[in-house]
Structure 1
Amino acid sequence: MSLRRTTTSIAAVTCLGVAAGVGYVVGDSPAPTTAPPIALANADLTAAGSCEELLDSYVERALEQVGPYGWGSGIIAFDSLGGSDAGESAGIERAAGVSTSRSTSNESGTNVQEVGVDESDVVKVAGSLLLRLREGELLAYDVSGDEPRLLSTTALDDARGTDWPGGPGGELLLVDGRAVVLGSSSDGLATTVTTVDLSDPTSPAVVDATTVRGRVSAARLHGDVVRIVLVNGLPELDFSSPDGTFGQIRAQLRNRALVRETTLADWLPTVDGEPVVACEDVAVPDDAVPLGTTTVVALDPASPADRTSTAVATDSDTSYFSTDRFYLAAGSPAWGWGDCFDCRPGPGSGGTTPIYAFALDGTDTTYVASGEVEGTIADRWSMDGVGGSLRVAVGASSETGNFNSVLTLREDGSRLVEEGRVDRLGVDEEIKSVRWFDDLAIVVTFRQTDPLYAIDLSDPAAPRLLGELKIPGFSEYLHPLGEQRLIGVGQDATLDGVTRGAQAALFDVTDLTAPRQLDVVRYPQHSQAGAGLDPRQFTWLPEQRVALTVVSQGWTGTTGWVSVLSLDGGSMSNRMVEVEHGSDVADVRLVPLASGRVVLVTGEDVSFFSLAG
């Protein structure tokens, strides 16, 4: 099928985007000769022939989910981010490509998943300019002097009720002297995208501000292109409740009538009530996936009113961006509130997970292939794309065995097909963290002990388990420290699996057939490591051989520290610096500068952080 894409220029503040066309025909996958524990099949996407057909597809699926109490028999669920709806060493040669050094911190100051793909955050730095978002204001600082100096404060108000509480309320990206700021409404169902010109940081100018009904779940920067993932869940309708002898029957009939009366504005992202994606540019999955809409909007901050968008008719927070691909995993959603746009929500329930792949080129986001894995995909860290291969760590589900697996997938025409796999990782255990490198995967599972698995991916068709290490506790976040070291931040635990408090563990991965734990730092009882939920609270300073990570303790009366971990050979020394209290602990950042200094950003202050004791 040929691909069609349109881009429309929109003057001033009007509409967040116009559609970018895609082709959606996917063939059936051949039946496997034997059924593996986690099988791969094809997942179809189709395009509606008209707006009426698109609306009918939403309504038909929605009628199956409405009962006498509303959606899901009256249980109102909230998703993760506020909207409704994890041999011999001689035989392993690093020269063959197995490496642990691909991932590093981004030059914007944010600890990112993928080199070359910046992520939104509450703080950004470019040279001597540091920006931070705080309670609806964009603050610009000069960090070239002896102390950070405030240059300007820009109010980011919006008449339509945008709230800026920090955390999920606001994050930003910085490109070529312009900041793109994303703010969430107080109910989490709307997003304001504000572009600020900082060519003169002492006098910033807001050049564009658009509010769209849709919740931002991720924002990335590819070169000079900003991509925003928006999620629209099940519409909020004025459902009835049962009353009287035949109340349930009457309530269900009334509620079904409300669903039939919905319009596309109830299902798609909108600006001032008008959908921002064309009907023919919404891909409709044939699989039983969560109902809603996930839209990718792309813009160049140099001309923020020129935007493109493409959408899939499903509600999913699990998305991953490589340098040239966007992957959307449409598994069952996880419920609960999160502290940032795409912090780890944890896996949802369900047996299979469809995956949709899109190619990234300029502001274009074009559908290219899809597939389906049996098993759960916990979060974006469970996916990785490199060298034309998609690698996925999957957990157990109702359709798999009682273990975890690592799969490699490749694009075969319009299908994602399985190329290789490793099974039986952590029998009866849960994946806690994954880190991918050029030809290596490190997977941590947990139930009572912490197995750390090293998997060779140098041949995507024949991945193999190299070695494993079993220790108490588990790592929720893994970070490479060069070719031979790896640090894991997570939870200490007893031998029978009872967690005790946060910990940081140093691993030697020189011999991947026999990884070793070299040292461990244990924090106070009931403490939490911030990087386990939000990896942006971890900073690695390679020249100083120092890791900085935020540790907190307490739910009421919360105290936050910066743990200064100094590495010397195979050991770590720790110094704890108390820096913040209360809910502001979630916004603590440690931003490395090109000068070698580190900026500490807390709830109210911006200052230089001393690495010396």
Structure 2
Amino acid sequence: MHLRTTLTGVTVLASLAVAGGVGYRIGQEDGPAGTPPPPRLALANSDLAVASSCDALLESYVDRGVEQVGAWGWGGGVVLQEGDVSMPLSSSAAGGVERSMPTTSRTTSEESGTNVQEAGVDESDVVKVAGSLLLRMRDGALMAYDVSAGTPALLSTTRIPDAHGAGRVGDPSGELVLVDGRAVVLGSTGGSTVVTTVDLSDPTSPSIVDTTTITGRASAVRVHGDVVRIVVRSDLPTLDFSSPDGALGELRAGLRNRALVRATTLADWLPTVDGRPVVDCDDVAVPDDETLALGTTTVVAFDPADPAARTATAVATDSDTSYFSADRFYLAAGAPSWGWSECLTCRRPMSAPRDTTPIFAFALDGTDATYVASGEVRGTIADRWSVDAVGDSLRVAVGPGVGTADANSVVTLREEGSSLVEDGRVDGLGVGEEITSVRWFDDLAIVVTFRQTDPLYAVDLTDPAAPVLLGELKIPGYSDYLHPLGEHRLIGIGQDADAQGVLRGAQAALFDVTDLTAPRQIDVVRYDRDTFAGASADPRQFTWLPDQRTALTVVSRFGAAGTTGWVSVLSLADGAMTNRMVDVGPDVDGVRLVPLASGKVVLVTGDDVSFLAL
């Protein structure tokens, strides 16, 4: 599946891809004169079907929708399937095999100033920097600063329509990316995503060159080179559902609500621009497995130099877990909504647990995307930080699923034809506990779980077919975010806890991982009671300055008088950390610490842009 259409051209994959794979034929030529052209999307697996017409595509959405609506609206009629109740746990002992020790040397500092998941894959943020130009979003305005002098100087302020976010985790509204002198800013209005492209060739006088509104909610923004990719989720249509009232009320409400679903159009189910679906009907593949979450996840790609020329790749299922490597896009299919089936007291559908998580893989090339493989892992994937790809190996950290053992695993997969097949795994991590953080390196995974204590596991991935649990460390508290500090040190940002697992406040822990068979916590900074470390929820609030051996992280506390925030300046020397707190006021979500090539650090707070004294 190779995508080269523009404006509305899209190719879509959706299925619960089991052990078998899904394949596409790409770049087909038209047949002899007088013969109809072959379909642009050809499927080699019966799990998917291409609708014969737009009417047939709409019917497929409606048929699935009718099964999921009841007297109270969405959520009726879904039946959960009981999975296998056993999962053999593999041995994780090293078995005496001599192997070289993996290291924690991979870095993820981005030149744009954002602390990102993958080196070379920029992410949207409320602040971006390029040379002496710094951009920030504040209350719907794009503000440009010159940071080359002793004090940052405001150059211009540009109002951006509907861009009123504040750096909230999982909501790119009010965030931006910067590509070759053009900023792409995300906004939201009425359940739609507003994409505004701003030319900053003259930062003292920026100009808006394009504004596009896409129905659906943006859940992620990534940049590969000069290509911007926006992940847009189209949820179940918002309809004017009835609720039961009086005798036979449930029956009447259920019938009316199903009639509303049957009256929907494709514009209710697919993302649109100016009323036209971003996805062509003959580019949408309909999953045979109806237990997938109903909805559409679309990746819209464009070069800001020509923002009107868009391509898109979509998966006909709703999901909020997407991961981008330098050359791949992976989507973990979402669990379906489930709930009450005419329940009198329920109001909202809940997410149904699964025993497996389907994964779809696409290769990225310019604005194009090519479907390459799909598969599944046993268990649940918590978020994008649980997924990583190096070379030909996809690695995922999974928690328990329906019918699996109550433990966590690290699983490696490889592309084999059009399938993602399991290559190796380590099971039994943190029995009865939940994964709180994962950090991936070229040949290593560090996994932290928590219930009462913080087991930190080091998993050797040197041989993807035979991953090995090297060592573990159990300490009070846990780390939500892990960051490498060279080859022998690791810092964990999270929460302190007592021996019973009762949380006490934020903490920063320093680990020695020189010997991964016996990782050690060598120092810890504990903050005041009831504090929270911003990097626990948003890693963009952490900055590592290797030249200064200094870590910067945002800490806040909410009390009767409101929110108070600080920057914690952690200086490392001789295996220990010293801490200095800098007050940043109550507007904590938008605080950023941006390193410059000059060695200075810009401190962005609610009302100010200044240099942080180190």
Q: CA deviation at 1:540?
A: 0.2
Q: Does 1:214 align with 2:216?
A: yes
- Counterpart residue number, 2:65: 62
Contact between 1:68 and 1:242, CA under 8 Å: does it hold in 2? yes
- Counterpart residue number, 2:585: 580
Specify which of 357, 365, 371 is matched with residue 367 of structure 1: 371
Matches within 5 A, 1:470-485: 470-485=474-489
Q: Does 1:299 align with 2:306?
A: no
- Counterpart residue number, 1:520: 524
- Counterpart residue number, 2:319: 316
Specify which of 15, 19, 31 is matched with residue 9 of structure 2: 19
- The letter for the 2-side match of 1:549 is T
After TM superposition, the score normalised by the length of structure 2 is 0.87
Specify which of 442, 446, 456 is matched with residue 438 of structure 1: 442
Matches within 5 A, 1:562-573: 562-573=567-578
5+ residue gaps, structure 2: 22-44, 78-93, 339-349
Q: CA deviation at 1:527?
A: 0.7
Q: CA deviation at 1:347?
A: 9.5
Q: CA deviation at 1:163?
A: 4.6
CA deviation string 1:176-226 (max 9, x = no partner): 1110111122x5x21111111111111111111111111000000000100
Q: CA deviation at 1:30?
A: 6.7
Matches within 5 A, 1:162-241: 163-164=164-165, 167=168, 168=171, 169-185=173-189, 187=190, 189-241=191-243
CA deviation string 1:37-67 (max 9, x = no partner): xxxxx99444333222221221111111101
Specify which of 3, 6, 15 is matched with residue 5 of structure 1: 3
- Aligned in 2, Cα 1:589/1:25: closer, same or farther, shift over 3 Å? closer
Contact between 1:44 and 1:370, CA under 8 Å: does it hold in 2? no
Q: CA deviation at 1:473?
A: 0.5
SS of residue in 2 equivalent to 1:586: coil
CA deviation string 1:509-540 (max 9, x = no partner): 11111100010000111111100100000000
SS of residue in 1 equivalent to 2:259: helix
SS of residue in 2 equivalent to 1:558: strand
- Counterpart residue number, 1:103: 107
- Counterpart residue number, 1:504: 508
SS of residue in 1 equivalent to 2:455: strand
CA deviation string 1:105-133 (max 9, x = no partner): 10100000000100000000000000001
CA deviation string 1:17-42 (max 9, x = no partner): 422336789986279xxxxxxxxxx9
CA deviation string 1:362-411 (max 9, x = no partner): 00122211111221100000000111110000001112101000000011
- Counterpart residue number, 2:566: 561
- The letter for the 2-side match of 1:201 is P
Specify which of 53, 58, 67 is matched with residue 56 of structure 2: 53
Matches within 5 A, 1:371-390: 371-390=375-394
- Aligned in 2, Cα 1:578/1:144: closer, same or farther, shift over 3 Å? same
Q: CA deviation at 1:604?
A: 1.3
Specify which of 599, 603, 610 is matched with residue 607 of structure 1: 610
Q: CA deviation at 1:284?
A: 2.7
Contact between 2:454 and 2:477, CA under 8 Å: does it hold in 1? yes
Which has the larger displacement, 114-123 or 48-57? 48-57
SS of residue in 1 equivalent to 2:114: coil
- Counterpart residue number, 1:342: none
Matches within 5 A, 1:409-428: 409-428=413-432
- The letter for the 2-side match of 1:448 is Q
Q: CA deviation at 1:350?
A: 2.8
Distance (Å, rounded) in 2 between the aligned partners of 1:258 and 1:114: 44
SS of residue in 1 equivalent to 2:310: strand
- The letter for the 1-side match of 2:231 is V
Contact between 2:125 and 2:167, CA under 8 Å: does it hold in 1? no
Distance (Å, rounded) in 1 between the aligned partners of 2:405 and 2:187: 42
CA deviation string 1:235-267 (max 9, x = no partner): 100111111211101110100010011111001
Distance (Å, rounded) in 2 between the aligned partners of 1:374 and 1:89: 29
Which has the larger displacement, 284-293 or 405-414? 284-293
Contact between 1:296 and 1:365, CA under 8 Å: does it hold in 2? no
Distance (Å, rounded) in 1 between the aligned partners of 2:421 and 2:520: 35
Q: CA deviation at 1:414?
A: 1.1
CA deviation string 1:539-592 (max 9, x = no partner): 0000000000000001551101000000012110111111121xx201100000
- Counterpart residue number, 2:329: 326
Matches within 5 A, 1:582-597: 584-597=587-600
Which has the larger displacement, 54-63 or 416-425? 54-63
Contact between 1:27 and 1:44, CA under 8 Å: does it hold in 2? yes
Q: CA deviation at 1:290?
A: 1.4
Contact between 2:496 and 2:504, CA under 8 Å: does it hold in 1? yes
- The letter for the 1-side match of 2:294 is L
Specify which of 19, 22, 41 is matched with residue 29 of structure 1: 19
Contact between 1:334 and 1:349, CA under 8 Å: does it hold in 2? no
Q: CA deviation at 1:348?
A: 7.3
Contact between 1:88 and 1:513, CA under 8 Å: does it hold in 2? no
- Counterpart residue number, 2:277: 275
Contact between 2:602 and 2:611, CA under 8 Å: does it hold in 1? yes
Q: CA deviation at 1:92?
A: 4.5
Matches within 5 A, 1:236-251: 236-251=238-253
Distance (Å, rounded) in 1 between the aligned partners of 2:216 and 2:17: 31
Contact between 2:177 and 2:183, CA under 8 Å: does it hold in 1? yes
Q: CA deviation at 1:282?
A: 2.5
- The letter for the 1-side match of 2:187 is G
- Aligned in 2, Cα 1:232/1:449: closer, same or farther, shift over 3 Å? same
Contact between 1:490 and 1:504, CA under 8 Å: does it hold in 2? yes
Contact between 2:227 and 2:366, CA under 8 Å: does it hold in 1? yes
- Counterpart residue number, 1:340: none
- The letter for the 2-side match of 1:93 is S
- Aligned in 2, Cα 1:593/1:482: closer, same or farther, shift over 3 Å? same
- Counterpart residue number, 1:130: 134
- Aligned in 2, Cα 1:555/1:262: closer, same or farther, shift over 3 Å? farther
User: Percent identity among equivalent residues?
Assistant: 71
